[in-house]
Chains A and B, each alone.
Chain A
Amino acid sequence: MDKKATALLKLIYLEMFGYDMSWASFHVLEVMSSAKYLQKRVGYLGAVQSFRPDTEVLMLATNLLKKDIVNSSIPNMSLPLITLPHIITPSLAMSLLPDVLSRLSHSNPVVRKKTIVCLYRLALVYPEALKLAWPKIKDHLMDDQEDSSVTTAAINVVCELGWRRPHDFLPLAPRFFELLVDSGNNWMAIKIIKLFATLTPLEPRLTRKLLRPLTNIIQTTSAMSLLYECINGIIQGGILDGEDSLQERDEVATLCVEKLRGMIVMDADPNLKYVALLALNRIVATHPTLVSMQQDVIMDCLDDADVSIRLQALELAVGMVDSDSLQLVVNRLLDQLRRASMSANEAIQSAHAETEDLSEGSPTDGPGADTLVLWPSDYQTEVVHRILDLCSQNNYSEVVDFEWYVAVLVQLVGLIPPSEPEEIADQDSMTNSRMNAALRIGTEIRNVAVRVKGVRLEATRAAESLIFVDTRSHFFPTGSTIGDGVLGPVAWVLGEYAEYLLSPKRTLQSLINISNVSLHPRTVSLFLQAIPKVFVRASQNGKPGDSWKSEMSLLLARVVEFLEALAAHPDLDVQERAIEFLEVLRLAAEALHSETQEVPFLLASVIPGLFMGLELNPVAASAQKKVVLPDSLCLDEPFSPDLPGLFRNLDSSAHELSTRDVIQDFYNVPETASTKQTLEFTPVDAQSHTSYQNFPGDASAGERRKLERRERFKDDPFYIAPSGESSGTSTPFHEILNTSNGEGLDIDSIPIVDLKLEDEPSHSANLDRSRSRRVPLSKLAVAADETLETQIDNSKPKGVTDGQPAPKRSLLQVDSSSLDRLALSKGASQMSADEGDTDMIKAMQQVEEVRLRMQRASERIQLEGTPAEGTLIKKKKKKAKKNVDEEPAEPIVRRKKKKIKGPEKESDN
């Protein structure tokens, strides 16, 4: 056995290096059951490190654990207590709960504190445990004679539980308060403050009570962690952002900011700097002016040697910047980027010279002082993003000088760090949540050109300078994807505002340079769109005559050559556009060859006419949703009231499957729109089909199978419907139109809402508002997004069901959501009055819970003879008496109500 234990210990050590040891779980169990303590300890350690809740031998371990928990020696019994949190499952928790509970009253505080924590973890997987354990934990908490470490453990557990069900812990506030003021234990004080931060939003009176001691601690304490947590608690508890503007509140805010400033300035400790910035970031939302007074310090942090600190400062800068400080901040960041790219170049050179891996060694021994530290490229990208965020927030409300901004944008293009190779791999990353920095810069240039008429000239010139082929290599090193992102929007600007171009011909030649073919298809298609526009512009330059003609035909020939190269482009969009323009331009070329001295009509007015039209204005992304739904179009009403009848008719004849297809499509629609009565018919229908129609060799069998498959997969997000069928469930609206057409509904009769794009009442209103808000100094108007100002709230598309998607879980995250639903004895059903289905679901869950609880309680009474439920109620009464002024006997009433509600709901169903 000794040998086995030693071998196991080594195996555990190996497991740490990533070797699987799940095969040894039975051996772990063997060693666990050893009589010798040290061997047992090895076994339990093995269980902690390797067992998972789904490990099968756990079932066999239950008895062993039971035995060890009630062991007389303290080390022996704490082994299962510290192991249980790692391996606990609901069933294990249920069977071990009585044994663990009995340990709460053990004479040794070491056992008690471990038990308390163990019970907390039990409750996470098995919420019922908390119902029984909580009164006892509370007793330990309230007991003044209790060992301080047990109290601390209890506070820690309450702090973990606190944010999930803050209501339940509100009555304990006086005791927490007492502990906070009297204990003098900083660890505990930190936790209590954390706890109060979650309690104060529920009980406004707490704020006043807390303010004094917290201020006192802030002013007197020497422990930085406690000081920071006090400030943090004040911020998070919402003490600063109450609606009534107390004199005290501002004083506290000022005090906090002063202290935070002190943390940044006085100490060289980077940790304090970091947390202080973290706290400032939270304050900035409510007290921007206070924070911006600390601008000097924060700006220094922007140049700190530590990336984490810089990032925090950067975020803070975005929050506090106003039109005065904007240029200062951005210029500073630009400087930083410039230095970074310079030092990066140097580093590359020196790395080549010394053939030494710089990234491996500590960066400070790189060339020069710490200003030349190599920053990771994602930090640089972040800076670029932040600069753009800074300038574009609130529709450019803070930017005063747009010429400066355009210059900044052009500089930024050269400063984007080379992107990582994986970004090239999936091109969709551009459309993903956060746009790639290059594309963003391009879009910004376009935005400025569209929105700010005053600098359109400058923006176009800037775009022009970016597109020239001969300078392009300067901005975009070969092999990077930066060009793809920037050039697309830039090309659009060139085409749209071709009249501002410095030299259209040179631009055109850059646009049709043959190297462009290798760009990203989306960029190329934008190029294509710009080419004829710029060409028209170029053709309008100069006097009509022979020289002009020959020049034009030369240009045209080159353009045609470029387009021909693209006519076989693999991307369909590019191909289509290329061929379209190719034909038009060929016509133009023919017209040029005619003998007249005049400018051919085609070139003079037809092709320009293609692109002349209304001024393009930015449209808000949500404007589409605000289009009023026509009165006569009802999305919820079924087209035929007798749907089942229709299907019955269809069943009789297999020939009509094609029409059924249409109806099936329609049939999917109301389902996504969550009308429930039609849902019930689906399975019946499908089954009746399969019973007599699925003959092998039947011509329609394939079709049928396909339909069935689609039926099965239509809710599966991983299944993509075949493109031939128009039945993407994601476009129910489109389908309704389809089917309604099929049934002979006249589409013209649907009234079309006049969007009034010409009048633009909302637009001008927005514009006026933005103008009036502006500082009188600036003469440039920024066009706001156009949108309809209708207040009808049909913004929610019908196809989207109300149920929110299951929240994504992070690695290592413990799932405590079951605790959310659990009601502690006193704080019974806190159901908020939600409307709709969620309410019903909740109610059902609660009914189920109550029923289970009652069932279990009755079982327990029979088994143990101790009325568990009875003691609980007694405790509650005591509590109610104690806090008469706070919550007069409400819990009992609530609980009764819930019990009554249970059977009622059941009878409903």
Chain B
Amino acid sequence: MINAVLVFNNNGQPRLTKFYTQLVSPRATPRTTADSAPDTPTHTVTQDTQTQQSLIAQIYRLVAQRPASACNFLPLPPLLSQGASSSATGPSDTPTQITYRTYATLSFIMISTSTESPLALIDLIQVFVESLDRMFENVCELDLIFGYETLHAVLGEMIVGGVVVETHIEKIIAGVRAQEGSLGKRKAVQAASAGLGRGALPGLGAWR
């Protein structure tokens, strides 16, 4: 199954993070985090987001190193490889593959277990991007920022709970249109979010 879908731009700023499996909380496995996390367990959720951030950072570092001609498979970053067993035979619950693909300024990453086919995942990313392209008409990074909801909706039509449910672009588009087109108020909400967003959101990158 797919454990996570990430999108970030060339500077490592996330544009989409979706984790289909919970990050292992420090309380569940005291061993893995005992030496690295001195925080009290009451801050589980904070740590959770922090672990996500450091995972994204690690993956970004790996992606940034790679030339454009390299293949689309990443070695496991340190955060993920600590629990992975070396036996690559039969499938298991451990995420073992990271597939990425870069389009212009954006990198799409899929973290998955060995039950997914690596080549199919590359195609899946392609389908995802093509669907986005259809939704936004010539998609660019800014579209993903302002169409944040739509972005999630597209992904929701393709992957549910880490399992691929749809690979037909037509059906994905139809699904998202059914959600958004059904109500006329869509424009209002979007305009509101975009109007305010134009002032606030682009500044986000500078904060980090």
- The answer to whether the Cβ of A274 comes within 8 Å of any Cβ in the partner chain is yes
Q: Please list the 4 inter-chain residue pairs (A to B) with the smallest Cβ-Cβ separation, ordered nearest first.
A: A810-B83, A85-B161, A225-B119, A270-B71
Contact A149 B70 (CB under 8 A): no
How far does the alpha carbon of A603 sit from the alpha carbon of B59 in the complex, in Å? 63
Whether the Cβ atoms of B93 and A45 lie closer than 8 Å is no
Q: Is A514 an interface residue (CB 8 A)?
A: no
Write the chain A residue with the least CB distance to B167: A187
Number of A-B contacts (CB under 8 A): 253
Q: Which of B108-149 contact A (CB under 8 A)?
A: 111, 115, 117-120, 122-123, 148-149
B24 lies within 8 A of A157 (CB): no
**Chain B residues in 8 Å Cβ range of A224:** 119
B79's contact among A49, A198, A306, A811, by CB below 8 Å, is which?
Answer: A811
A5 within 8 A of B: yes
- A24-58 vs B, CB cutoff 8 Å, 1 = contact: the mask equals 00000000000011110110010011001110000
**Can you list 10 A-B pairs, Cβ within 8 angstroms, ordered by A?**
A10-B196, A15-B49, A16-B16, A152-B164, A225-B122, A232-B117, A270-B72, A306-B67, A810-B80, A812-B19
A:1-30 near B, CB below 8 Å: 2, 5-6, 9-10, 12-20, 22
Q: How far is the CA of A53 from the CA of B48 in the complex (A)?
A: 12
- Report if A179 contacts B (CB, 8 A): no
146-201 of chain B: CB within 8 A of chain A: 148-149, 152-153, 156, 160-168, 171, 175, 178-180, 182-183, 185-186, 188-189, 192-193, 196-197, 200-201
Interface residues of B in 46-69 (CB under 8 A from A): 46, 48-53, 55, 65-69
CA distance A308 to B111 in the complex (A): 16
Question: Residues of B contacting A42 with CB < 8 Å?
Answer: 149
- Residue of B55, B73, B168 near A274 (CB, 8 A) is B73
User: Is the CB–CB distance between A41 and B165 below 8 Å?
Assistant: no
Q: Once the chains bind, are A6 and B196 in contact (CB under 8 Å)?
A: yes
Q: Counting chain A CB atoms within 10 Å of each CB, which of B44, B72, B118, B163 scores highest?
A: B163
Interface members, chain A 75-102 (any B CB < 8 Å): 75, 78, 81-82, 84-86
Any A CB within 8 A of the CB of B82: yes
User: By the criterion CB–CB under 8 Å, are B93 and A813 in contact?
Assistant: yes
Residues in chain B near residue A118, CB distance under 8 A: 160-161
Say whether B71 contacts A114, CB under 8 Å.
no
Residues facing A in B6-38 (CB within 8 A) are: 13-25, 28-29, 31-32, 34
Are B70 and A117 touching (Cβ within 8 A)? no
B164 near A813: Cβ-Cβ < 8 Å: no
Please tell me if the beta carbons of B32 and A809 are within 8 angstroms of each other in the complex: yes
Q: A159-B115, A160-B163, A809-B83 are in contact. Are A273 and B186 (CB under 8 A)?
A: no
When the two chains form their complex, are residues A814 and B1 in contact, meaning their CB atoms are under 8 A apart?
A: yes
Interface string of A154-168 (1 = CB under 8 A from B): 001101100100000
**A 793-835 contacts with B by CB, 8 A:** 807-816
B182 touches A37 (CB 8 A): yes
Q: Mask for A183-196, Cβ within 8 A of B = 1, else 0?
A: 00001001100100
Whether B166 contacts A306 by the Cβ 8 Å rule is: no
Q: Is the CB of B73 within 8 A of A117?
A: no
The chain A residue sitting closest to B64, CB to CB, is: A360
Inter-chain contacts of A157 with B (CB < 8 A): 163
- List of A residues within 8 angstroms of B149 by Cβ: 9, 38, 41-42, 45
Q: Are B193 and A9 in contact (CB under 8 A)?
A: yes
Q: Name the residue on B nearest A374 (C-beta).
A: B65
CA distance A52 to B156 in the complex (A): 18
A305 within 8 Å of B by Cβ?
yes
By a CB distance below 8 angstroms, the chain B residues around A271 are 71-73, 118-119, 122
Min CB distance, A313 to chain B, in Å? Answer: 12
Q: A309-B71, A808-B83, A816-B93 are in contact. Are A36 and B185 (CB under 8 A)?
A: yes
Q: Do A270 and B70 form a contact, CB below 8 Å, given A809-B29, A811-B82?
A: yes
Asked if A113 is at the interface (CB within 8 A of a chain B CB), the reply is: yes
- What residues on B are CB-neighbors of A48 within 8 Å? 18, 152
B49, B72, B89 pick with most chain A CB within 10 angstroms: B49
Q: Please, which residues of chain A bring their CB within 8 A of the CB of B91?
A: 163, 198
Q: How far is the CB of B58 from chain A (nearest CB, A)?
A: 11
CA distance A9 to B186 in the complex (A): 14
Task: Report how far A48 CA is from B186 CA in the complex, Å.
Answer: 21
Contact of A629 with B by CB under 8 A:
no
Q: Which residues of B contact A121 (CB under 8 A)?
A: 161-162
Contact present for A114 and B160 (CB under 8 Å): yes
Q: Which residue of A lies closest to B112 (CB)?
A: A812
Closest approach, in angstroms, between the C-beta of B117 and any C-beta of chain A? 5
* B21 surroundings in chain A (CB, below 8 A): 812-814
- Chain A contacts with B in 756-814, Cβ cutoff 8 A: 807-814
Q: Are A270 and B69 in contact (CB under 8 A)?
A: yes
* B74 contacts partner chain A, Cβ-Cβ < 8 Å: yes
What B residues does A811 contact at CB under 8 A?
A: 23-24, 32, 51, 55, 79-80, 82-83, 95
Enumerate chain B residues within 8 angstroms of A37, measured Cβ to Cβ. 179, 182-183
Is B4 among interface residues, defined by CB-CB distance under 8 A?
yes
CB-CB under 8 A from A311, the residues of chain B are 75
Excluding A38-B180, A308-B74, 16 further A-B contacts by CB distance (< 8 Å) are A10-B201, A14-B204, A17-B208, A19-B49, A22-B45, A49-B17, A110-B175, A113-B165, A121-B161, A153-B166, A198-B91, A270-B70, A274-B71, A359-B65, A811-B80, A815-B93
Q: Of A13, A163, A362, which contacts B90 at CB under 8 A?
A: A163
Q: Are B166 and A16 in contact (CB under 8 A)?
A: no
Q: Which of B65, B163, B166 contacts A120 (CB 8 A)?
A: B163
Interface flag for B107 (CB, 8 Å): no
A113-B166 in contact (CB<8A): yes
Binary interface encoding of chain A residues 247-270 relative to chain B, with 1 for a CB under 8 A from any of its CBs, else 0: 000000000000000000000011
Residues B160 and A16 in contact, CB atoms below 8 Å apart: no
Known A117-B160, A163-B91, A362-B67; contact A810-B189, beta-carbon cutoff 8 A: no
Q: Chain B residues near A562 (CB, 8 Å)?
A: none
* Chain B residues, CB < 8 A from A198: 90-91
**Residue from B53, B168, B179 having most chain A Cβ neighbours under 10 A:** B179
In the complex with contacts A6-B189, A37-B183, A149-B165 CB distance below 8 A: yes
Contacts of A718 in B (CB 8 A): 34
Question: Which listed residue, B52, B118, B189, touches A18 by the CB 8 Å rule?
Answer: B52
With a cutoff of 8 Å between Cβ atoms, the chain B residues found around residue A274 in the complex are 71, 73
Smallest beta-carbon distance A198→chain B, Å:
7
Could you say which residues of chain B place their CB within 8 Å of the CB of A81?
Answer: 160
- Tell which of B22, B24, B93, B111 has the most Cβ of chain A within 10 Å: B93
Give min CB distance, A749 to chain B, whole Å: 44
Tell me the complex Cα distance, A269–B71, Å: 8
A75 to B177, CA, bound (A): 10
Among B31, B49, B189, B208, the residue within 8 A (CB) of A38 is B189
- Residues of B close to A10: CB separation below 8 A: 193, 196-197, 200-201
